[in-house]
Amino acid sequence: MLSSYEFLASYLRARFGDDERGASLVEYALLVALIAVVCIVAVSFLGRKASSNFNTVGSSISGAASN
């Protein structure tokens, strides 16, 4: 006869042992979070660079228009 511990262990293994969906879900969530962080950093860096370039072009156009 199975002891209560062996019964509980076999029940939990049968219920959750072969199910890897939770682990896959966590891995995908971590990948999505990492990609989001990289995108946010890239957009903020490129946004500053683009703003600087637009300011340079705008001031050179303004200078050329006033001459």
- Residue 46 pLDDT level (bands cut at 50, 70, 90): confident
| Number of compact structural domains in the chain | 1
Give me the domain span that covers residue 8: 4-66
Cα 38 to Cα 34: distance, rounded to the nearest angstrom: 6
Q: What is the pLDDT of residue 31?
A: 93
Q: What is the pLDDT of residue 61?
A: 87
- Residue 49 pLDDT level (bands cut at 50, 70, 90): confident
Is the model's pLDDT at 40 over the cut of 90? yes
Cα 30 to Cα 36: distance, rounded to the nearest angstrom: 10
Tokens 């001031």, located at residue: 59
CB-CB contact of 32 with 40 (8 Å): no
CB-CB contact of 2 with 10 (8 Å): yes
Region 5-28: mean pLDDT is 72
